[in-house]
Amino acid sequence: MSQPELTRLEVIQRVKRKTLKQHQAAELLSLSVRQIKRLCKAYQGTGAAGLISKRRGQPSNNRLPEKTMNKVRRLLRARYYDFGPTLAAEKLALEGLSLSVETVRQLLIGEGLWKAKRVRRVVIHQLRERRARLGELVQIDGSPHDWFERRAPKCTLLVFVDDATSRLMYLQFVDAETTFNYFAAVRSYLTQFGNALALYSDKFGRFPSKYAQSAVGDGTDTVWPRPQRVRHRTHLCALAAG
C-alpha cells in the first residue's frame, strides 16, 4: 500500500473503532462524508484490500492507442530524429498527431534520439547588507568600452563606488585595466578622499601574482623581488602607497 492508502486505512480503522467521527475523517482525508461511508463499507467487506484503488496496474484512460504511438515513433526515427521535443511536437501536429511536448520528449528519450538535460543546481547567494557610513567600503572595477565613439582609441574606465551611498567617488580613463593603473588610481583616490577602511574588487580583478615589471614614477623600471598577492578586500591601498 502507498503512504496515502496507509493513512486512509488508519483513519477508517479509527472510524470503525468509534474514536473518530465520520465528518472528522472526511476533513482529515479531504473527502465527503458520503465517500467516507463508502470506504467504511468497503473496509468492512474486504478489509484493507477494499481501500486500494481498483485502477492499480491498469493502463490510464488517457493513454494514447499503441497504434498511434508506433506511428509517432516511426516518424520520429525517420524524419525528426535531430529535432528537439518542442519542434518535433509542432511538426507532428501538422501531420494530425497532436501530442504534448512532454509526451514527445519521453518518446524521443525512449528511442535514444534525445538526451535528458541535467537540471542545474540553483545557487542562492546570501545578500550582503550595505556598510553604514561613507568611506567604510569602496568598490573598484574597470569597464572597457569604446567610450569616445571611435573619436579616440578604446579605453577602460576605472570606477570607485562607495558601498554605503552608491556615490561615484572617483573616475579615471586608462588605456587598459592593469595592476599599475589601479595603483595610480588608488593613489589619486587616497590623495583626494583619504584611506577607506576597505577596498573591494570582484574575482575578475587584474592583480597578478607573478613577478611584475613596469615603468612608473620617474621612468625607471620597478621589479618586485617576490610575487605580490593582492587580496580582494584589503592591501591595495598599502601597495599603491608603497
Query: pLDDT at residue 26 above 50?
Result: yes
What confidence tens digit (pLDDT) does each residue in 109-131 have? 988 888 877 778 888 877 888 89
Q: Confirm if 175 and 236 have CB atoms less than 8 A apart.
A: no
Fold of 137-241: Nucleotidyltransferase; domain 5 (3.30.420)
For CA atoms 13, 17, 19, 24, the dihedral sign is positive
List the single range of 1-15, 166-180, 182-196 with lowest mean pLDDT: 1-15
By CB neighbour count within 10 A (0-12 exposed, 13-18 middle, 19+ buried), where does 194 fall?
exposed
| Residue matched to cell numbers 542545474 | 120
User: What 3 state SS string does the chain have?
Assistant: CCHHHHHHHHHHHHHHCCCCCHHHHHHHHCCCHHHHHHHHHHHHHHHHHHHCCCCCCCCCCCCCCHHHHHHHHHHHHHCCCCCCHHHHHHHHHHCCCCCCHHHHHHHHHHCCCCCCCCCCCCCCCCCCCCCCCCCCEEEEEEEEECCCCCCCCCEEEEEEEECCCCCEEEEEEECCCCHHHHHHHHHHHHHHHCCCCEEECCCCCCCCCCCCEEEECCCEEEECCCCCCCCCCCCHHHHHHC
Instruction: Give the tens place of pLDDT for each residue, 146-157.
Output: 999 889 999 999
The owner of cell 528511442 is: 111
Residue 57: the pLDDT is 63
Q: Would you state the pLDDT for residue 229?
A: 40
44-51 average pLDDT score: 80
Residue percentage of the chain with pLDDT more than 90: 31
Task: Please tell me the least confidently modeled range out of 86-95, 106-115, 170-179, 214-223.
Answer: 214-223
Which has more confidence, 129 or 59? 129
What does pTM read for this prediction?
0.40
The yes-or-no verdict on residue 173 having pLDDT over 80 is yes
pLDDT band at 61 (very low <50, low <70, confident <90, very high): low
pLDDT at 207: 57
User: What is the domain partition of the chain in residue ranges?
Assistant: 3-51, 66-110, 137-241
Cell numbers for 63 = 493513454
